[in-house]
Amino acid sequence: MSEEKTVYYSPVAVRPATLLIIDKRNIPYLVSLDRDMTLGREYPGADTNIRVQSLITGRRHGEFIHDDSDDSFYYIDNNSTNGTYINGVKLPPYNARGSKAYKLWDGDIIRIDRKTLNNPHPESVLILFSRSFDPNEQWQSFRIPHMTRVSIGRGENSMIRLQDIMASRDHAYLYRDECGTFLYDCNSQNGLSVNGQQVEGGVQIFNRDVIRIANTMLIVIGDKIYYNNPGEKVGALSVHIRSKTVNFGRKTLLKDVRFQADTRDFILILGGSGAGKTTLVNAILGDGKADGEVILDGLDLYKNFKTMKSQIGLVPQFINLRLNDKVRQTLMDIADIKLDRKYYSKEDKIHRVDEVLNRVGVKSLENHLIRQLSGGQKKKVSVAAQLVGFQKVFICDEPDSGLDAASRVQQMEILKEIADNGKIVMVISHEPDDAVNSATNEILFTKVLVLAKSSMDNAGHLAFFGSPYDALDYFGVTRLQDIMKEINPDFEGGKGKADFYINKYLEQKGGSF
């Protein structure tokens, strides 16, 4: 009889996604996706949850399925007559029920259309899946005039003016003539993409194309552009690493790692020696490209590295503030470093610093010297220093190394507050149990990711991803640090259960990633 414990399983609460839908009425509308929901066309007696006006959509065309083990959504095409395209690829039939379940990631584009997507059917349907849209977000429209250069950017004179500070002042422009509509990048800092593909120079765009400029989505509907003004936000970081090899493929360091981090997640990365922690970090940074995808806000880092590399980065071990500098001057100096003067004026930098001072709650201290601040106020200024730039994902490799217990707690509280300000923070730590709220004693991490080294292939695999409290129950321990004892080999003082937990997690996920 096996002595292993039954693996703990706790359903994850649904965090609603949002569907932006455009059918034959050519007006975008938003639907909250908060459970299993069916998709079909509108007709008398229709009983699907999501109904679109489209004669080429089946009565029960497809369905969105919620996986409560990790709060993800899948889409299945129910062997419909006209099928479903996701990111330009048609879902093939799988069995009598329909297609294989397709896991949806932030920014995925779902189309019900004919195969010539550049010439959409009049009854076609476009659905944009998002974990970052606000269901109450207001969308604006702009009619593209004929034979006129339509400027897009932050600048006061832009015809389509974006309230998105990550957009350049003169970011891009549109031009429409008898040959079609064309989109050109104006050598912007953060670039642009069409249907998830990075644009270099210019490209022809078509009806139902989805344009991405920084955090702003622009959708072509006939001769109009519909766009939102979302401000500064982070949607989701989706990581799918099939494998990471070295020595010309002869040695596999990491295999079958798949997870999604959301806005305000503070994630602990645990793993023994050789389990692949540093390899995973380098893969997410893009420094050690793996066979797989790293998708941030719907864009693939590996395909768009030039424009996205500044959005995912390492954080220094500890943030040193010059004690004789004033708070505002400290942040302005950082703005001069992080905000390229080619794209950001002095006024832009002042506006950004004001925005961060207000967000963090230290505007009233802007003229105080750092040495005059209390410990808590200094922590807030340290948070503000990291928020001045537009980095969305912060990765910290042992930020608490070499610090005393009090300093470790302080460092973790700073990182947690960065996450609370709408970012994603990932931390490798050997003292994870110090990351507790000093007032409530609650664990600061929102998620725990555990890598374990398999004895079958000597590669690191995902052994757990979920909340810290579920992690403690899952591994049957009372401290996060003790998780390592469960998965480390005997010769490192562990219990050697790495294979057990890798297999159990795989079973929990349905047998594959």
- Domain assignment of residue 198, yes or no: yes
pLDDT recorded at residue 23: 96
> Using an 8 Å Cβ cutoff, are 230 and 216 in contact?
yes
H or E segment and range at residue 382: helix 375-387
The region of weakest confidence among 212-221, 264-273, 366-375, 434-443 is: 434-443
Tell me: pLDDT of 12 over 70: no
Tell me: pLDDT of 156 over 90: no
**Percentage of the residues of the chain whose pLDDT score is greater than 90:** 52
pLDDT recorded at residue 7: 39
Separation of CA 476 from chain center: 30
User: Reduced to 3 states, what is the DSSP secondary structure of residue 499?
Assistant: helix
Measure the CA–CA gap between 284 and 304, rounded to whole angstroms.
13
Average pLDDT of the residues in 71-89: 95
- Report in angstroms the alpha-carbon separations of 468 from 41, 149, 450, 478: 42, 53, 11, 11
Tell me: pLDDT of 5 over 60: no
Is residue 75 domain-shared with residue 124, that is, in the same domain? yes
pLDDT (tens digit per residue) in 352-408: 999 899 988 899 999 999 999 887 888 888 888 888 988 899 998 887 776 777 878
SS (H, E, C) 126-170: EEEEECCCCCCCCEEEEECCCCCEEEEECCCCCCEECCCCCCCCC
pLDDT recorded at residue 401: 72
Tell me: pLDDT of 2 over 50: no
Cα dihedral sign, 52-64-243-309: positive
User: Reduced to 3 states, what is the DSSP secondary structure of residue 301?
Assistant: coil
Strand partners, 300: 295
- Domain assignment of residue 170, yes or no: yes
The region of weakest confidence among 86-90, 103-107, 146-150, 490-494 is: 490-494
Is residue 59 domain-shared with residue 161, that is, in the same domain? no
Of 458, 456, 494, 455, nearest in space to 475 by CA:
494
Q: What is the DSSP string of 15-61?
A: --EEEEEE-TT---EEEEE-S-EEEEE--TT---SEEE--TTS-TT-
pLDDT (tens digit per residue) in 260-279: 898 899 999 999 888 889 99
Q: Count H helices, E strands: the chain? A: 9, 32
- Domain assignment of residue 284, yes or no: no
Is residue 113 domain-shared with residue 171, that is, in the same domain? no
Is residue 93 domain-shared with residue 21, that is, in the same domain? yes
User: Reduced to 3 states, what is the DSSP secondary structure of residue 326?
Assistant: strand
pTM of the model: 0.74
- Domain assignment of residue 425, yes or no: no
- Please count the structural domains in the chain: 3
Q: Is the model more confident about 439 or about 369?
A: 369
Tell me: pLDDT of 3 over 50: no
Q: Is the model more confident about 185 or about 156?
A: 185
- Domain assignment of residue 343, yes or no: yes
pLDDT (tens digit per residue) in 130-143: 887 877 777 899 99
> Using an 8 Å Cβ cutoff, are 408 and 431 in contact?
yes
Domain boundary among 356, 390, 424: 390
**Percentage of the residues of the chain whose pLDDT score is greater than 70:** 94
Q: Residue 176 contacts by C-beta under 8 Å, 6 or more apart in sequence?
A: 144, 145, 146, 147, 148, 150, 182, 223
Is residue 195 domain-shared with residue 213, that is, in the same domain? yes
The region of weakest confidence among 86-90, 97-101, 395-399, 400-404 is: 400-404
> Using an 8 Å Cβ cutoff, are 226 and 138 in contact?
no
Measure the CA–CA gap between 394 and 285, rounded to whole angstroms.
10
Is residue 24 domain-shared with residue 112, that is, in the same domain? yes
Is residue 126 domain-shared with residue 43, that is, in the same domain? yes
pLDDT recorded at residue 232: 66
Domain boundary among 82, 99, 130: 130
Strand partners, 14: none
Q: What is the DSSP string of 205-235?
A: E-TT-EEEETTEEEEEETTEEEEE---S---
Is residue 155 domain-shared with residue 72, that is, in the same domain? no
Residue 193's CATH number: 2.60.200.20
Other CB atoms within 10 A of residue 230 CB: 19
The region of weakest confidence among 163-172, 392-401, 497-506 is: 392-401
Per-range mean pLDDT, top range of 187-191, 199-203, 229-233, 340-344: 199-203
pLDDT recorded at residue 1: 40
- Domain assignment of residue 483, yes or no: no
Is residue 160 domain-shared with residue 64, that is, in the same domain? no
- Domain assignment of residue 484, yes or no: no
Tell me: pLDDT of 321 over 60: yes
Q: Which domain holds residue 382?
A: 315-390
On average, the pLDDT of the chain sits at: 88
Tell me: pLDDT of 6 over 60: no
Separation of CA 293 from chain center: 12
> Using an 8 Å Cβ cutoff, are 370 and 387 in contact?
no
- Domain assignment of residue 89, yes or no: yes
Per-range mean pLDDT, top range of 75-84, 127-136, 448-457: 75-84
Measure the CA–CA gap between 393 and 261, rounded to whole angstroms.
10
Average pLDDT of the residues in 191-208: 92
Which amino acid does the sequence have at 504? K
pLDDT (tens digit per residue) in 120-129: 999 999 999 9
Average pLDDT of the residues in 99-123: 94
Domain boundary among 228, 244, 278: 228
Is residue 163 domain-shared with residue 224, that is, in the same domain? yes
Is residue 32 domain-shared with residue 117, that is, in the same domain? yes
**Which residue is it, tokens 């896991």?**
103
Is residue 320 domain-shared with residue 365, that is, in the same domain? yes
